[in-house]
Amino acid sequence: MKMSAGVEWAVHCCILLSQADEPVPVPRLAEFHGVSRTYLAKHLQQLSRAGLVTATEGRTGGYVLTRPADEITVLDVVLAIEGDEPAFRCTEIRQNGPLPASPQACRRACGVARVMYAADHAWRSSLAGVTIADVVGTVERENGAQTFARARDWLATGSAGTTA
Amino acid sequence: MKMSAGVEWAVHCCILLSQADEPVPVPRLAEFHGVSRTYLAKHLQQLSRAGLVTATEGRTGGYVLTRPADEITVLDVVLAIEGDEPAFRCTEIRQNGPLPASPQACRRACGVARVMYAADHAWRSSLAGVTIADVVGTVERENGAQTFARARDWLATGSAGTTA
DNA sequence: GCATTCATACTCGGATATACTCTGTCCGAGTTCTGCAGG
DNA sequence: CCTGCAGAACTCGGACAGAGTATATCCGAGTATGAATGC
């Protein structure tokens, strides 16, 4: 029941990509977040397969969000990395043993599984209610708008940060 | 983001234990559910550590629920097996890279982590709202009361089932 | 001066090792029941 | 007939291997840029 660490990276990358108007290559994303370039590339590939980002090849290539940040939910990102399969997988053990459940009863999903699926639905609904733009807005409201303004400058100028 | 298969076994075992008035040994539980004896024992140990069941040693020993079934939530069982740590673990990558978050901003949890924690809370609330007794009641209402009556008979008589 | 060609440097994408956790198993410590001997 | 004791069988508990997945990495295919060349 542990989520992949790549989810955290992917969400933060989407946040940063929402601040960029030009394609951002993987090395730049990795440098900004201080994580492994090659492993981050793997997760970006998954985001690409899920259709959340578009890859541009070539010298000025990189990744760009395919949709506006307010149309990408956190759930989209999580499912792109973790896969859309529910956490609980019913193995139908009710059909095993000396007193298996009747075929008539098995027309409905196992009662245990239904409880788990309901919880999974609540979890997904919670994540689906928050977009990348919402997260950006929350952080800006709390820490000030200059937070992402600096990120935008860093993306545009390269590594010539003003904080040195 | 996959849940251990042992969770399913543990919940079904709690359901069966709620129907027993005498201690039920692991081999009996494993036979009823058609699963591995030794591996199931491992999960029962975890339930014992969590205080959900009490182990009785000796010839007539076995496991008994420590609380009534209507005071044991599905969340209790899931946490006993999976551990009470949240699925998402924030590694604070916002503090990495050339533009780390300010210490003042870090007094609050990371915005991404808060979204994940909120979803985790929704998931837990959903599971905490359902007790083992609720699951039993639902299945009885749908499939008839004889469903668990047979299980009770099987537990009392041994393996002399009437379905042969 | 301008169009074309070519080499280059940079990008993404998939195929490849390693570490860790989940799955599955085994044997030992402890307890209770049963049978038997003695009073 | 009752009591005490010894043996055995059964129970749980923790320590021990194997498989699958997450983690981390590398190299190859493809493309836009930029310079050099010929007209």
**How confident is the model at residue A158, as a pLDDT?**
63
Alpha-carbon distance of A106 to A104, in angstroms, equals 5
The residue count for chain B: 164
Q: Residue A106: beta bridge partners?
A: none
**How confident is the model at residue A161, as a pLDDT?**
41
**Span A133-162, mean pLDDT?**
86
b/e B64-103 (16+ beta carbons within 10 angstroms → b): ebeeebeebbbbbbbbbbbeeebbbebeebbebbebebee
Q: Any chain B CB within 8 A of the CB of A74?
A: yes
Alpha-carbon distance of B108 to B111, in angstroms, equals 8
**How confident is the model at residue B1, as a pLDDT?**
86
Q: Residues 6 or more apart from B140 whose CB is under 8 A from it? A: B147, B148
Q: Could you tell me the two tokens for B51? A: 């205080």
- Cβ atoms of B65 and B53 closer than 8 Å: yes
- Cβ atoms of B131 and A66 closer than 8 Å: no
| Element housing B62 (H / E) | strand B62-65
Alpha-carbon distance of A23 to A19, in angstroms, equals 11
Mean pLDDT, all residues of chain A: 93
What percent of chain A is predicted at pLDDT more than 70?
96
Q: Residues 6 or more apart from B108 whose CB is under 8 A from it? A: A142
Q: Report which residue type is found at B19.
A: Q
Q: Report which residue type is found at B91.
A: T
CB-CB under 8 Å, A7 with B105: no
Predicted confidence (pLDDT) at residue A160 exceeds the cutoff of 60: no
**How confident is the model at residue B157, as a pLDDT?**
77
Q: For residue B158, name the pLDDT band (cuts at 50, 70, 90).
A: low
E runs forming strands in chain A: 53-56, 62-65
Mutate to test the interface with B, among A112, A130, A142 (most CBs of B within 10 A): A112
* Residue B42 beta carbon within 7 A of nucleic strand D: yes
**Segment B7-42, tens digit of pLDDT:** 999 999 999 999 999 999 999 999 999 999 999 999
Alpha-carbon distance of A147 to A155, in angstroms, equals 13
Alpha-carbon distance of B135 to B69, in angstroms, equals 10
Spell out which residues of chain A touch residue B150, defining contact as CB-CB under 8 Å: 99
The residue count for chain A: 164
**Residue predicted with more confidence, A114 or A58:** A114
- In angstroms, what separates the C-alpha of B111 from chain A's closest C-alpha? 6
For chain B, domains (ranges, CATH) are 5-157 (1.10.10.10)
- In angstroms, what separates the C-alpha of B121 from chain A's closest C-alpha? 8
Alpha-carbon distance of B18 to B21, in angstroms, equals 8
Alpha-carbon distance of A131 to A137, in angstroms, equals 10
pTM, entire model: 0.92
CB-CB under 8 Å, B126 with A119: yes
The DSSP bridge pattern shows strands B62-65 and A62-65 to be: unpaired
Residue tagged 């959340």 (tokens): A52
Tell me the three state secondary structure of residue B148: helix
- Beta-carbon-side half-sphere exposure of residue B129 (alpha carbons within 13 Å): 11
CB-CB under 8 Å, A147 with B105: yes
**Segment A103-116, tens digit of pLDDT:** 999 999 999 999 99
DSSP code per residue over A119-146: HHHHHHHHHHT-BHHHHHHHHHHHH-TH
CB atoms within 10 A of CB A108: 14
**Segment B58-117, tens digit of pLDDT:** 888 899 999 999 999 999 999 999 999 999 999 999 999 999 999 999 999 999 999 999
Predicted confidence (pLDDT) at residue B162 exceeds the cutoff of 80: no
**How confident is the model at residue A26, as a pLDDT?**
95
Among all protein residues, pick the one whose CA is nearest to the C1' atom of C29.
B57
Q: Any chain A CB within 8 A of the CB of B90?
A: yes
**How confident is the model at residue A110, as a pLDDT?**
96
Lowest mean pLDDT among A86-90, B90-94, B156-160: B156-160
Predicted confidence (pLDDT) at residue A164 exceeds the cutoff of 60: no
- Cβ atoms of B99 and A34 closer than 8 Å: no
Q: Residue A108: beta bridge partners?
A: none
Q: Residue B55: beta bridge partners?
A: B63
**Span A55-68, mean pLDDT?**
93
Q: Is the dihedral of CA A45, A67, B112, A28 positive or negative?
A: positive
Q: Any chain B CB within 8 A of the CB of A148?
A: no
**How confident is the model at residue A59, as a pLDDT?**
86
- Beta-carbon-side half-sphere exposure of residue B19 (alpha carbons within 13 Å): 22
